């Protein structure tokens, strides 16, 4: 299967909240528009350390994660608002080393009712729901 890349906007969720409350100015909200590798085999949204720093995210905890190299300790960071197509979701971020491409995992895709279309090599709205955005609870 070919590599699928998706353009994604990531915004520091705390900054959005702080700006809404008037604690910071809207121009102080940190965000990035980046291309991410779509990895439906990965659960989390993973960002290199440099991007986490650019977004001003705070470390929340450390977790054992399973990788192709075995189990390693990785840091979990405060949430970002992830915007793809006409969809948004807020999720915590897992840290990966600089030099590794940012990964868009299955939790974000499922939460936004997006699917990978391997034939077209794109991410698209779930055709089973006629492209409508809703959150399934069952």
Domain CATH code at residue 43: 2.40.70.10
78-89: per-residue pLDDT in tens? 999 999 998 999
**Number of domains composing the chain:** 1
Would residue 137 count as lying in a domain?
no
Would residue 136 count as lying in a domain?
no
Would residue 63 count as lying in a domain?
yes
Would residue 25 count as lying in a domain?
yes
Would residue 134 count as lying in a domain?
no
- State the DSSP code for 63: E
Residue 5 CB-half CA count within 13 A: 5
Residues contacting residue 3 through CB under 8 Å, at least 6 positions apart: 37
Q: pTM for the whole thing?
A: 0.85
16-38: per-residue pLDDT in tens? 999 999 999 999 999 999 999 99
What is the SS3 assignment for 67-125? Answer: ECCEEEEEEEEEEEEEEECCEEEEEEEEEECCCCCCEECHHHHHHCCEEEECCCCEEEE
Would residue 60 count as lying in a domain?
yes
Give the range of the structural domain holding residue 122, as residue numbers without chain letter.
5-129
Residues of the chain with pLDDT under 70: 1-2, 67-68, 129-138
């Amino acid at each position: 299967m070919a590599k699928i890349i998706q353009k994604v906007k990531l915004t520091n969720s705390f900054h959005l909240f702080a700006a809404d409350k008037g604690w910071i100015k809207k121009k102080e909200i940190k965000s990035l528009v980046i291309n991410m590798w779509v990895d439906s085999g990965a659960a989390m949204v993973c960002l290199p350390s440099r991007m986490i720093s650019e977004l001003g995210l705070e470390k929340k905890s450390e977790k054992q994660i399973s990788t192709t190299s075995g189990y390693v300790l990785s840091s979990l960071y405060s949430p970002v608002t992830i915007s793809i197509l006409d969809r948004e979701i807020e999720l915590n971020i897992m840290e990966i080393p600089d030099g590794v491409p940012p990964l868009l995992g299955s939790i974000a895709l499922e939460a936004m009712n997006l699917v990978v279309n391997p034939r077209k090599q794109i991410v698209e709205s779930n055709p089973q729901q006629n492209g409508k955005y809703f959150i399934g609870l069952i």
